[in-house]
Amino acid sequence: MRLHKNLSAIIVTPENPMPTEQFAAEELAAYLKKCIGIVAPIASIPETGKYTFILGCPDRNASASSIISSEDFVNNIPGPEGIYIKISDAATVIAGSEDGDGHNRGLIYAVYEYLERYLHCCFGAFTKPGTIGGEIVPVYNELFLENTVYTKAKADLTCRSAHVQYNNWAYDAEHSLNVPFFDYLIKNRFNSFSTWTGVYDQIKEMGLLPELEKRGFKLTVGGHHAIETWLPPFGNKDISIRYVEEHPTYFRLEEDGTRWHPTESGRFGGQLVWCCSNEEGIEEIAKNIIHWVDKNPLVENIAFSPNDFRAPQCCCEECSKHNKMENYLSFANKLIRRVRKVHPGVTIGVCSYTDLWDCPDNMSMEDGLSLRQTVWASAANGGLRACGNAEGRGIIGTKIADNMLKFRKLTNSVNVYEYYMGNYGNRHRLLPAADEMQPIYKFYVENGISGSSTQIECFNIWNNLLNFYCFGRTAYDTDLSLEDQIQSICKLFGKGASYVAEIFRIYEDTNKGDLPLNKASQQLRETIDAEKIYSLFDQALDAAMYDATAANNVRLLRMAFRYTMLDREEVSVGDPECDELIYMSRNFNSYLTKGGYGIALPVNYFLNEKTLFDYRDPEGTVADLSKTDKWYMFA
C-alpha cells in the first residue's frame, strides 16, 4: 500500500477505549502526521472511503473481527503482551493480545513496532524538551509498504521493570524530563514502574499518575522505605500514630533488651527493624496497607523490603527460633493473607539482599508473594556480581542463580534486581553490560524466572544508553542478539551509525566480565583505547553533521564517554580537565538540576556544589567551550 500526505485515513479504536487504547491511537496519529503528513482522526466507527487503521484485537474491536477471528487471534497471539500487525490495501490492523488485566500494553507495543519496523523510527533516546536530539522520526513524501503480517506471540519475560529512585535517599521526583522518560520506557518495552513510596507520593501530587496509567505500567511501590509508609516510627502524612513510641513491641528487640528506636535522621537503615512475630503488629501493618491501597488503586504490588544495610534480627523468643529469611517469609505470608482478604489482586514483594539471602528449606510462600532476587549478596554469597561476560557468567552458574532457582520452587514470581547504570558508587560512569543480556534472559526463560528490573533514572539515559535500550527489548524478545540491538539503536546517529556501532562493540569487548559492578567502569577507563574511541566519535560527528538530530545524539553519547574518562578523584580545581567537567555539568547535567539533556554529570562527588556553581579560573571565568569546541556546539 502507499502512504502519502493526501491519504484520507481514519484510526478506529474499540468502543469506549481503555486509557491505553486511546493513548495508542493518539501516538499512531501523531507519528503518521510527523512522518508522512497524514491527518487521521480517531473514531470508533470506520468511514466509507477512508483508509482504516484498526486498533485492537477482535474481542475488543469489532472492526478487527472482519480481518481475523477471535479464535485464530488467541491461538496465534496468546500473550501476554503479544503483537499482531497486518498491512493490506484495504486496512491496517494493529493489535495486542487480550491479557485481561486492564492494561493492554501489547497494543501500545504493536503501534511502536509498526512505527519502527515500517516507518523506520528509532525511539532509543530522548533529550531536553525543545532541543534537537533524541529519537529519530524520518520524514517521507510517500512510503510504499508491502502487504504483510507480523506477529510476536507474547513477551518472553513478563517483568521488565524500571526501578526509579531519582537520587540516593533524596527522593525529589520533580523534573522536566519525567514525561519524556515515561515515553522512553514504554517505547523500549519496559512494562513496570517501581519506586519508593516517597517518589510515588510526589508523582501523584504532581498529577503524573495518569501519564503512567495510559502507558499501561504496572506499579510497584515500597522498597527500603516500606516501613516508613506502613508502620512509620514517627507517623507520616497519612498515619498520626508514632509507633516507635506508642507501640514499641512492634519493633525489633535488641540484644540489650531495648526496642529499636531510630533518630529522626537515621531511620532508613537497620534491615528488619520490625518484629516479624508480633501478630498485633502484623495486623496493624496489614490494616495500613489495605487503607493505603484503597486510596491508591493503581498500585498492584507492595514491595515490603527491609530497610537498607545489614543488622541483627529481632531477639524476641519467637524470632530467635528462626533465621532472618525464615522470619521475613513467615511475616510476609501472614501479611499477604490478611491483605488479600480485602484486595485479592494485590501482591506483596519480598527481596533477597546482602545477608538476608538464602532460600530456606522446608518453607512455603503464599500465593500473591513475589521474590526479588538482588545481585548484591554478602561476601559469603559472592558479593556484588560481575557484569559484562558475553556468556552471561555474571549470573549463570553463580550462587545468585542457585538461590533464585530455589526460590522459584516456592513462588511463580521471581525477578532479578539489576544495576545496569551501576550502583551509586559508580557515579553514572559507563558500564558496558549489554552483551550478557541475551544469554542471561534465555536462561531466565528456560528456568521460569519472571524477568528483571534495573535501576534507571530520567537523568541518566545517555550514560549507559545501550544497556537501557537492550534491557527491555531483549527481555521482551530474547531472539534479539546484541548485534541486532546495535544496528537498531544506531539509527539515532544517522550517517554516523557505522562509527557508533563500532564504538559500542569496543565498549562491550573491553569489559570482559571479570570485575564486579562497582569496579567494572574503572577497569574500562584504564584499559580502553581512548584515542580510537575519540577518533570514531570524530568520524561519526563529521558523517552526521548535516542532520542536527543525529549530530546532537553523537555529541551526547560522546559526552557520556568523556565524563567517564575525566571523572576521577584526582581531578582538581584549576586543571583544564576540571574546567571541562564543570562546563559540562553546568550546561548539560540533569543530575543536579530539574532539566538538562538526560545525561548525569555528577561532578559534585569530588567538587562541592558551591565550587561547581561558583568556581572561576584565574582569569575570573570558566571558558565557554561552546564557542570553541564542536562537541559542545549543540544545534
Give SS3 for 246: helix
Tell me which amino acid residue 195 is. Answer: T
| Cα 94 from Cα 109, distance rounded (Å) | 10
Contact between residue 524 and residue 430 where contact means Cβ atoms under 8 Å apart: yes
CA neighbor of 222 nearest in space, from 326, 333, 341, 346: 346
Q: Residues 295-329, buried b or exposed e (16+ Cβ, 10 A)? A: ebeebbbbbbbbbbeebebbebeebeebebbbbbb
- The whole-model pTM stands at 0.96
8 Å CB contact between 152 and 82 = yes
User: Do 451 and 485 contact (CB within 8 A), yes or no?
Assistant: no
Q: In the chain, where are the structural domains located? A: 2-152, 159-480, 567-635
* First vs last C-alpha separation in the chain: 36
How do residues 359-417 score in pLDDT, each as one tens digit? 999 899 999 999 999 999 888 888 899 999 999 999 999 999 999 999 999 999 999 99
Pick one of 3.40.50.2020, 3.40.190.10, 3.30.110.70, 3.30.379.10 as the CATH number of 2-152.
3.30.379.10
Is a pLDDT exceeding 70 seen at residue 321? yes
- The identity of residue 613, as a single letter, is F
Question: pLDDT digit string (tens) for 167-198?
Answer: 654 568 999 999 999 999 999 999 999 999 88
Over residues 273-301, the pLDDT tens digits come to: 999 999 999 999 999 999 999 999 999 99
More confident of the two residues 570 and 531: 531
Contact 282, 333 (CB under 8 A): no
User: Half-sphere exposure of residue 598, counting CA atoms within 13 Å on the CB side?
Assistant: 31
Average pLDDT rounded to a whole number, residues 433-450: 98
Q: Which residues pair with 150 in a beta bridge?
A: 85
Query: Which runs of E-coded beta strand occur in 5-48?
Result: 9-12, 42-43
H or E segment at 81?
none
Helices in 137-278 by DSSP H: which ranges?
178-187, 197-205, 209-214, 226-230, 243-246
Task: Report the Cα 168 to chain-centroid distance in Å.
Answer: 16
Instruction: Check residue 169 and give its pLDDT.
Output: 47
Q: Is the pLDDT of residue 528 over 50?
A: yes
Query: CB of 275 within 8 A of CB of 252?
Result: yes
Give the helix/strand (H/E) hosting 369: strand 369-377
Task: Give the pLDDT band of residue 568 (cuts 50, 70, 90).
Answer: confident
- Per-residue b/e over 338-347, b at no fewer than 16 CB within 10 Å? ebbeebeebb
Q: What is the pLDDT of residue 344?
A: 96
Give the model's confidence band at 616: pLDDT under 50 very low, under 70 low, under 90 confident, else very high: low
Give pLDDT, residue 493.
98
Cα 605 from Cα 150, distance rounded (Å): 48
**Cα separation, 186 vs 462, whole angstroms:** 17
Ranges of beta strands (E only) in 13-131 are 42-43, 51-55, 83-87, 91-96
For residue 614, what pLDDT is reported? 62
Q: Which of 556, 562, 559, 567 is nearest to 607 (CA)?
A: 567
The model's pLDDT over 211-227, given as tens digits with 9 standing for 90+, comes to: 999 999 999 999 888 99
- Cβ atoms of 424 and 501 within 8 Å: the answer is no
The Cα-based distances of 165 to 172, 225, 298, 299 in angstroms read: 9, 11, 19, 17
- Sign (positive/negative) of CA torsion 220, 223, 228, 233? positive
Q: How far apart are CA 278 and CA 537, in angstroms?
A: 60
Task: Give the percent of the chain with pLDDT over 70.
Answer: 94
Q: What share of the chain is helix, strand, coil (3-state, %, to 5)?
A: 40, 15, 45
Which is more confidently placed, 120 or 624?
A: 120
Domain 159-480 has CATH 3.20.20.70: no
pLDDT of 592 strictly over 70: yes
CB 197 within 8 A of CB 228: yes
Whether 161 has a pLDDT exceeding 60, the answer reads yes
Q: Which residues contact 58 (CB under 8 A, 6 or more apart)?
A: 64, 65, 67, 68, 69, 70, 73, 95
pLDDT attached to residue 627: 77
